Chains A and B, each alone.
Chain A
Amino acid sequence: MTDGSEKRIVKQIKVDLDKCIGCRACEIACSAFHATPKYSSTNPARSRIRVVIDELNDCYVPIRAGDYTPAECTGRHTYTIEGKQYSQCSFCGVSCPSRDLFKEPDSGLPLKCDMCENEPPLEEPMCVQVCPHDALTYEETEEEAKQEEPREEMEIGLETLAKRYGLKKVMDAIARMSREKKG
């Protein structure tokens, strides 16, 4: 590891928006696979993949649940693609306060896609398996990845502060402190 990099497998679910028929089978399969006991219930509201549909504007976007964030974006982009308008949120998998998506319906706890890596891991994630239209396809690629430096105590501490007060507040405080020091 002299150059600080290593090979790793990156799992990808590729999404072809033109091929999506809006059937939401991915949502049903995901919710069943992650139910306890396995397959015992279905509930798209618990799915870690959701198809964001705007029928009258012909927008069909399957998105995968990503990380949790305590705060919503300060602003949003609106994208126009081939004449159709999409909100930034249409592509965003973050479980955030601005919407109901990717939260357990009862507890409100965030949901996150695990690529069906439960024991034993599936060859392909469940959502891909039930999409014969190939709107969702699965690919594994090998990538060079920078080896992560072990994080220092200060960084971990800062992150905790950022989580508690919000990154902006912490940054403002650091900026103020450095200004005060200069002055």
Chain B
Amino acid sequence: MRYAETGFNLEIDLSRGSVERVATDPELTELYLGGQGTAAKILWDRVPPEVEPFSPDNLLIFSAGPLISTAVPGANRTSVDTFSPQTNFYSHSLFGGFFGPELKHAGYDKIVIRGKAPNLVYLWINNDKVEIRDASHLHGKGALETGTLIKEELKQSDAQVAAIGLAGENRVYMATIEHANASASRGVGVIMGDKKLKAIAVRGTKDIHVARPLELFELCNPMYQAIYDNPHCGDVFLHEDDEEWHVNNFAWGNARERKKGWWNKEIEERWTKISDDVRLRWTGCYNCPKDCHQAIKYPGRQTYFQKCYSKLTYCMAAYKELDFNYDILGLTQEYGLDGYSTPQVLAFAIELYEAGILADKDLPEFPSDSGERFFYLVEKIVRREGVGDALANGVYHAARQIGKGAEEYDHNSMKKFEQLPLKLKMVNYPYFLMYSTSEKMTITQTEGSYPQIPIADKKEREAFVKNWDAAPERFKKWYLEWEPRSHPSIEASVHICDWNETMHYVDDAIGTCAFLSSFRGQFGGRPPYHLYNLPDFISHATGMDMDPDKLWEIAARNRNLIRALNIRRGLRRADEKPPEDHWQIREPEMEAKLLDAYYEHKGWNNDGIPTKETLDKLGLDYVSADFLQRGILTDGESASPKKASAKKKKKK
């Protein structure tokens, strides 16, 4: 008997209209745990690098990791994995809410979708009964509206629905998948749209069994109060009306300008009132006592759920006030647009217009007000009308399609992907590494365990380190030695990057939320879940033997496998750099040293390719064999960087 997992995947071929329930190998759970890890294995086995993201052979995988739907509080994040047309690399997103648990109760750990439907369809999973149903009547419907319509049509108020909006249907690269109070961002909606899959509805009423029930429950039960009481976890910032930190540190417009000193008490009072007026309530995800989502009812808009920093992304990009942000989110969430990348595309377009690169003929009747311009551009983008067709491909591709010097205005993307609008003074060593080397395309999915800044007072620092249960021993020394305004050493920086990313690989394989774990050590250092208590949860739930070292090893295996997916698609050292102007003051020599040291620590060669030795040690022999066969690695020597680089140029 399998514990915590269902032991079955649902394989859907939309081209052929076939549905299969496939038993999975328990050995894979031992090696990769699940979620993102086992999804990466499927992508490696079945999507060779020649497959274009828009090919029917690309897969779209929804994974519910092993802890999802068990009693472990806050384990509810569904992982969505595919290849992105924007980056041509591995694309990964996560969403909370209730979808993953329902899928598990329906009897599946994953939905693996291949092919393309001839017409718009949706998938209806009701325990063992699975149907591919016509969705032509849902064409153009809003993402949450689609969920409501499907539940009414099926007479299944308990079903959980994940859907795309018009943006996904029209293959907008910034398209999300929306579900209840959650969104899967970073462009996975574009593949769902390409496959002509409007939505997935799921209802499950089966039991999920765990290996050691009493032990697990004794661990879980106190966690509700502990998580609730812990001030350092959940969405700490979203609950604050004092936005000084965000408005001072993040850049406005097209990631251009920091407005230090702009924030004041009067604005805080005004903005607080705006939020209070439109907020219906705070809501949580499945089995989690934190309430990280605002249910928002803006006049004239349907109710929607706001989360994270999307509270400010649109208004800061448009130089507007908070009410504008709440208003436009009501529209963009229904269109299914990513609240992080979309505002940057819009602000980029406005800059191009002001620079004369986009002319009146490109933007007929373009309004003068920046807010109205945002609404105008959103409509063009989701319909791919006129210049919206280029903008719908994101800043990097739009700049090159538009030409006439537009490339100069693409200054905040990395690996062709829009980054958070952060423009800072001095290069930060660990952050340089996290930005440069992450496969997850965004800093929020990489940072989070090691504190961002040291506590100034040495005594307080000592007190902080004393009960720092989450941290491996080596970090305590480094943190104690860390004086304000000084850089961690190269060695410390490498390890900080390593620990931070590793914890995300842990969460993303088992289903725990980063807001309770990998993202929530960086302020306060007291995440409810960490490397040293998670093994017990995993062990009691699944019955596997687990300890911190083994968990770290699995995370490293997943990290290297996902790295390998991108290496096979051409990723090399030359791609590994933050946005050019992310920091004003750079240290090229030091940055090269940092990258060298990080690659060495990871067991990668100087071009960022995992060596045969590293891969084999992690049980990824099939990866090293493939690398050798393709000439990405060569026999004898661990790799041939020159050859690899040459190959890459040819590919491009």
Query: Interface digits, B180-213 against A, CB 8 Å rule (1 contact, 0 not)?
Result: 1100000000000000000000001111111001
Q: Knowing that A22-B181, A55-B283 are A-B contacts, what are 15 other residue pairs whose CB atoms are under 8 Å apart, sorted by A's residue number?
A: A29-B71, A35-B207, A35-B213, A39-B216, A41-B207, A41-B208, A41-B210, A42-B207, A55-B295, A55-B303, A58-B280, A58-B281, A60-B281, A130-B289, A132-B225
**Which residues of chain B in 207-260 are interfacial with respect to chain A, using CB atoms and an 8 Å cutoff?**
207-210, 213-214, 216-217, 221, 224-225, 228-229
B287 touches A58 (CB 8 A): no
- Listed A/B pairs (19) with beta-carbon separation below 8 Å: A21-B282, A21-B283, A21-B284, A23-B287, A24-B287, A25-B289, A29-B71, A29-B221, A41-B208, A41-B209, A41-B213, A42-B208, A42-B210, A43-B206, A44-B105, A45-B158, A45-B204, A55-B144, A60-B283
Most B-side CB within 10 Å, residue of A23, A38, A58, A60: A23
Q: Is the CB of A23 within 8 A of B70?
A: no
Interface size of B by Cβ–Cβ distance < 8 Å?
44
Q: Quick check: A22 and B284 within 8 Å, CB to CB?
A: yes
B512 near A: Cβ within 8 Å? no
Is the CB–CB distance between B105 and A21 below 8 Å?
Answer: no
B228 and A23: CB pair below 8 A? no
Nearest-neighbor residue (CB-CB) of B292 within chain A: A21
Q: Which residue of chain A is the closest to B282 with respect to CB atoms? A: A21
Asked if B286 is an interface residue, CB under 8 A from chain A, the answer is yes
Q: Give the shortest distance, in Å, between B141 (CB) and chain A (any CB).
A: 13
Give the complex CA separation of A45 and B204 in angstroms.
8
Which residues of chain B are near A45, meaning CB under 8 Å? 105, 158, 204-205
B302 within 8 A of A: yes
| CB of B321 within 8 Å of the partner chain | no
Q: Is A137 an interface residue (CB 8 A)?
A: no
A28 to B74 Cα, complex, angstroms: 12
* Selected contact of B181 from candidates A28, A43, A55, A100, CB within 8 Å: A55
Cβ-based interface call for B291 (8 A): yes
Give the Cβ gap from A150 to chain B, nearest Cβ, in Å: 41
In the complex, how many angstroms separate the beta carbon of B8 from the nearest chain A beta carbon? 16
The answer to whether B284 and A38 have CB atoms under 8 Å apart is no
B69 within 8 A of A: yes
- A residues with a Cβ closer than 8 A to B are 18, 21-25, 28-29, 32, 35, 37-46, 55-58, 60, 100, 105, 129-133
**Interface centre among B69, B71, B225, B282, by most A CB within 10 Å?**
B71
Q: Given known contacts A40-B209, A43-B105, A58-B303, is B286 in contact with A23 (CB within 8 Å)?
A: yes
Q: In the complex the two chains form, is B217's CB within 8 Å of A39's CB? A: yes
> Do residues A38 and B148 form an inter-chain contact, with CB atoms below 8 A?
no
Bound together, the chains give a CA A55 to CA B179 distance in angstroms of 11
Please, how many angstroms separate the alpha-carbon atoms of A6 and B204 in the complex?
46
Decide: B283 and A43 in contact? CB cutoff 8 A: no
Contact A21 B281, CB 8 Å, known A39-B217, A133-B289: yes
A158–chain B nearest beta-carbon distance, Å = 36
Is B295 within 8 A of A58, CB to CB?
yes
Which residues of B, 574-610, contact A by the 8 Å Cβ criterion?
Answer: none
Complex interface: chain B residues within 8 A of A43 (CB): 105, 205-208
* Contact status B71-A24, CB under 8 Å: no
Scan B21-60; emit 1 where CB is below 8 A from any A CB, else 0: 0000000000000000000000000000000000000000
A42 to chain B, nearest CB (A): 5
Please provide the chain B residues from 269 to 298 with a CB less than 8 Å away from any CB of chain A in the complex.
280-289, 291, 295, 297
Task: Give me the 7 closest cross-chain CB pairs, A-B, nearest first.
Answer: A132-B228, A45-B205, A105-B205, A39-B213, A23-B284, A41-B207, A21-B284
Residues 291-314 of B, flagged 1 when their CB comes within 8 A of A and 0 if not, give 100010100001101000000000
Q: How many Å from the CB of A50 to the closest CB on chain B?
A: 9
Task: Judge whether A38 and B281 touch: CB under 8 Å.
Answer: no
User: Which residues of chain A have C-beta atoms less than 8 A from B289's C-beta?
Assistant: 21, 23, 25, 130-133
Interface-central residue, A21, A56, A130, by most chain B CB under 10 Å: A21
Residue of A nearest to B228 (CB): A132
Residues from chain A with a CB closer than 8 A to the CB of B288 are 23, 25
Cα(A46)–Cα(B280), bound, Å: 30
Q: Known contacts A21-B281, A21-B282: does B70 contact A42 (CB below 8 Å)?
A: yes
Closest to A54 in B: B157
Using CB atoms, name the residue of chain A closest to B304.
A56
B98 at the interface (CB under 8 A from A): yes
- Per the bound structure, the CA–CA distance linking A40 and B148 in Å amounts to 33
> Are A56 and B303 CB-contacts (below 8 A) given A23-B285, A133-B228?
yes
Contacts of A32 in B (CB 8 A): 71, 213, 217
Flag whether B528 is at the interface (Cβ < 8 A).
Answer: no
B421 CB-CB contact with A under 8 Å = no
User: For residue A60, which residues in chain B have a CB less than 8 angstroms away from its CB?
Assistant: 281, 283
Q: Check if B283 sits within 8 Å of A40, measured CB to CB.
A: no
A21 CA / B235 CA spacing, docked (Å): 14
Contact of A129 among B98, B204, B214, B221 (CB under 8 A): B221
Contact present for A130 and B224 (CB under 8 Å): yes
| A100 B144 Cβ-Cβ under 8 A | no
List the A residue with the shortest CB-CB distance to B76. Answer: A23
Instruction: Give the residue name and chain of the A residue nearest to B158 (CB).
Output: A100
A124 to B217, CA, bound (A): 16
Which single member of B105, B148, B205, B224 contacts A25 (CB below 8 Å)?
B224
Q: List, in ascending order, chain B residues with CB within 8 A of A40's CB.
A: 209-210, 213
B511 located at the interface, meaning its Cβ lies under 8 Å from any Cβ of chain A in the complex: no
A28 close to B284 (CB less than 8 A): no
- Min CB distance A96 to B, Å, is 15
Residue on B with the closest CB to A101?
A: B158
Q: Which residue of chain B has its CB nearest to the CB of A28?
A: B287
Which chain B residue shows the least CB distance to A40?
A: B213
Give A35 to B221 CA distance when docked, in angstroms.
16
B73: chain A residues within 8 A (beta carbon): 25
Task: Give chain A residues whose Cβ lies under 8 Å from the Cβ of B210.
Answer: 39-42
CB distance B284 to A39 under 8 Å? no
Most interface-central of A39, A42, A44, A133 (chain B CB within 10 A): A42
Q: Within the complex, which residue of A25, A38, A56 is in contact with B144, where a contact is CB–CB below 8 Å?
A: A56
Q: Which B411-463 residues have a C-beta within 8 angstroms of A?
A: none
